[in-house]
Amino acid sequence: AARPRSLYSPDDPLELLSADTAERRLLGSPSAWAVEFFASWCGHCIHFAPTWRALAEDVREWRPAVMLAALDCADEANQQVCADFGITGFPTLKFFRAFSKKAEDGIRIAHPAATVADLRRAIITNLEQSGDAWPPACPPLEPARDSHPISQRGDRFQVALDLLQYENVAVRRVLSSEEELVEQFGVTTFPSAYLLLRNGSFSRLPVHAEARSFYTYYLRTLSGVTRGSYRLNITGSAVNESRALQPLQADRSKVYVADLESTLHYTLRVEAGRPAVLAGAQLGALKCYVATLAKVDFLGGFGLEVLMVVPTRSRPSVLQASPAAVLPTNITWVGCRGSEPHFRGYPCGLWTVFHLLTIQAAQGGPDQELPLEVLSTMRCYVKHFFGCQECAQHFEAMAAKSMDQVKGRDEAVLWLWSHHNEVNARLAGGDTEDPQFPKLQWPPPDMCPQCHREQRGVHTWDEAAVLSFLKERFSPGNLLLDHAV
Ligand code: FAD
C-alpha cells in the first residue's frame, strides 16, 4: 500500500516529531509542549488537522515557552514511540509540562472536537498549574492575591504570552479590586489597557476593540518594541536589490508608482533576462506576463510598448521593446524600502504589482475572466522566473492546492490576499523579516478596524470589508507618483 502522506508540512508552525526526536524534544525540555498524536489515515485526524494548525498559528508567538508538535503514529517507524507514550486512539492530545521526565507524564488535554479557543484555554490552564515546572521563558503568573478563577485569569495572560518574543515591553494585569491602582490610572472601564512609560506618564491604549488581537497588535508595533532573540529557523533567500539608500518617508496607506516601475524593470530586464535561451513554457510565461500587463495597463501606455515579445536564441527582446523613456532603468523602492538593503525591495514589489493587477482587473471592464488570468499569470511568472526558488516552490504548492477552484473576480482578489497572509504567517519571526516591518496578518487592525472580528476569542476576517479595503487601497487614485526624500 502507498505510504500515507502526513497531514502536516514542515511549513506549519509546529514541530513534526519522529521516533528519533520525540523523547529528546518532549522530555527534560525547558518548554511546555502540546502534542497531537495522529494517524494520517484516520478521518478524525484529517478533520482535526486544520484546527491543530490554526492553534499552532494562534500560539506561534508563545514559543519557546509553549511549543506545539505532532507525531504521525501511522508511520511504521513511529509505532514503538507512540506505544511508549501510551497512545491507543487518534487523535490524542497531550500536554507535557516543562522538564517532564517520563513519557507517561503527558497530560491528556481537551477532546479533539474542541475549538482553537478551547484548546488554547486547556494549554493555559495546564501551564498555570505547572508549579515548579514553570517554563523559564514564560512570563510570570498573576499576583498571588488574584482571586479570579484560572479560566478567567487566562484571557489576559494570553496577551503576555503573545508579547513573549518582544523586547522593551511587559504586560501586567491589574484587577478591578486593586483600588489604589485603578484610581491612580483613572480606570473606568473593564477590561481596558493602559500604556505606562518609564518616565511615569501613561495613556489608555487607543484600540478599536478591547480584545486580545487589538492589544497585541498595538503593543507589538509601538516604537522601540522589537522582536527579541528567539528567531525561527526559517531559510529562504528573497531576492533583493542591494542598494544602500537614504531613508524615504513612505505613507503606508499609499501605493507608490516607483515600487511598481522598479518591479517591472526588475522582472522584465533582470529576471526575464537571466535565461540564456528563452523558449517553451518559460517563453509562454513571459508572454502571458507581458500580455497581462498590457491588458490591465495600470501605468497607462506602458503595456503597448512591451507587447512584442519574440522568441530569441539570445536575450529576450522585451529589453528592446520597452524604451527607457517609458520604463525607468533604475530601481527606487519607496513603500517597499527596507530598513537595510537586503530587506524587502523586489519581493515586496512583486506582491504589490500582482495585488494591483488582480484588483484593477476585477474593477469593472468587460473581461470577467481577467482577474483569474492575472492569478495564473502570476503562478507562471513565479514558477519560471522568480529568483527565489524556494519561494517559488512554496507558492506553486499553494497554487496547485486551490488556485484552480477560484471562480469569480472578487474571489481572485481574496485568494491572493489570503495566500499572501499565509506566506506572512509562515515567515513571521524568520530571518527574512525586516524588524522594522514585522510580518503581520494584513491589513492590521489600525489600518482597517472593520476588517477584523473576534468570535469567542478567536480572530476572524470580515471578507467583505477586506475586499472594499483592498479595492480602495489599490485604486488608481491611491497611487502616488511622488515621494518625499
Ligand atoms: P511583503 O510580504 O512583501 O508585502 C508587501 C506589502 O504588501 C506589505 O508591505 C503590505 O503593504 C502589503 N501586504 C502584506 N500582506 C498583504 C496581503 N495579505 N494582501 C495584500 N497586501 C499585503 N520569502 C521567504 O523568505 N520565503 C518564501 O517562501 C517566500 N515566498 C514568496 C512567494 C512569493 C510569490 C513572493 C512574491 C514573495 C515570497 N517571499 C518569500 C518574500 C516575502 O513574502 C516578502 O515579500 C519579503 O520578505 C518582503 O517582505 P515585506 O515586509 O516587504 O512584505
Least confident of 64-78, 124-138, 203-217, 368-382: 124-138
C-alpha cell at 75: 508511520
pLDDT of 336 > 70? The answer is yes
pLDDT at 428: 87
Ligand 1 pocket check for 422: Cβ under 6 Å? no
What is the rounded distance in angstroms from the CA atom of residue 481 to the CA atom of residue 300?
A: 13
| Other residues' Cβ atoms within 10 Å of the Cβ of residue 29 | 17
pLDDT at 373: 94
What is the rounded distance in angstroms from the CA atom of residue 218 to the CA atom of residue 440?
A: 12
Angle between helices 280-296 and 346-362 (to 10 degrees): 60
Strand, helix or coil for residue 344: strand
∠ at Cα 250 (246, 253), nearest 5°?
165
What is the rounded distance in angstroms from the CA atom of residue 444 to the CA atom of residue 358?
A: 21
More confident residue, 365 or 142: 365
What does each C-alpha distance from 170 to 144, 153, 163, 333 come to in angstroms? Answer: 18, 17, 8, 34
Q: Is 45 a catalytic residue?
A: yes
pLDDT at 324: 43
State which of 217, 351, 383, 451 you would mutate to test the pocket of ligand 1, scoring each by most atoms of that ligand within 8 A of its C-beta: 351
Residue 278 bridge partners (DSSP): 312
State which of 237, 240, 348 you would mutate to test the pocket of ligand 1, scoring each by most atoms of that ligand within 8 A of its C-beta: 348
Ligand 1: which residue has its CA nearest to atom 28? 391
Q: Per-residue confidence at 314, pLDDT binned at 50, 70, 90?
A: very low
More confident residue, 27 or 455: 27
pLDDT at 112: 57
The tens digit of pLDDT for each residue in 230-275 reads 544 333 332 333 333 444 568 889 999 999 988 998 888 878 877 7
Q: Are 55 and 68 in contact (CB under 8 A)?
A: yes
Ligand 1 pocket check for 461: Cβ under 6 Å? no
Q: Span 38-61, mean pLDDT?
A: 87
| 235 CA closest ligand 1 atom index | 25
Ligand 1 pocket check for 347: Cβ under 6 Å? yes
- Which percentage of the chain shows pLDDT scores above 90? 38
pLDDT at 266: 85
Could you report the predicted ipTM of this complex, rounded to two decimals? 0.99
pLDDT at 151: 43
pLDDT at 154: 54
Q: What is the DSSP string of 437-466?
A: S---SSS-TTT-GGGEEEETTEEEE-HHHH
pLDDT of 9 > 90? The answer is no
Ligand 1 pocket check for 421: Cβ under 6 Å? yes
What is the rounded distance in angstroms from the CA atom of residue 271 to the CA atom of residue 384?
A: 10
| 434 CA closest ligand 1 atom index | 51
Ligand 1: which residue has its CA nearest to atom 48? 344
- Element at 302 (helix H, strand E): helix 302-305
pLDDT at 233: 38
Counting other chains too, the contacts that 175-182 makes at CB distance below 8 Å and 24 or more residues apart are 175/146, 175/148, 177/147
- Element at 70 (helix H, strand E): strand 66-72
Q: Of these residues, 45, 348, 448, 451, which one is catalytic? A: 45
Least confident of 143-152, 226-235, 257-266, 371-380: 143-152
Ligand 1: which residue has its CA nearest to atom 40? 391
What is the rounded distance in angstroms from the CA atom of residue 485 to the CA atom of residue 476?
A: 23
| 439 CA closest ligand 1 atom index | 51
Q: Are 325 and 279 in contact (CB under 8 A)?
A: no
Is the pTM here over 0.80, yes or no? Answer: no
- Which percentage of the chain shows pLDDT scores above 70? 83
Q: 494562534: which residue's cell?
A: 58
pLDDT at 18: 95
CA of 117 to the centre of ligand 1 (A): 28
Ligand 1: which residue has its CA nearest to atom 27? 391
Ligand 1: which residue has its CA nearest to atom 4? 348
Q: Is 73 a catalytic residue?
A: no
Q: How does the average pLDDT of the chain come out, rounded?
A: 82
CA of 462 to the centre of ligand 1 (A): 21
Ligand 1 pocket check for 256: Cβ under 6 Å? no
Residue at 388: amino acid letter: C
Ligand 1 pocket check for 74: Cβ under 6 Å? no
What is the rounded distance in angstroms from the CA atom of residue 361 to the CA atom of residue 352?
A: 14
The tens digit of pLDDT for each residue in 103-140 reads 999 999 977 578 999 999 899 889 888 887 888 888 77
C-alpha cell at 303: 503595456
Ligand 1 pocket check for 419: Cβ under 6 Å? no
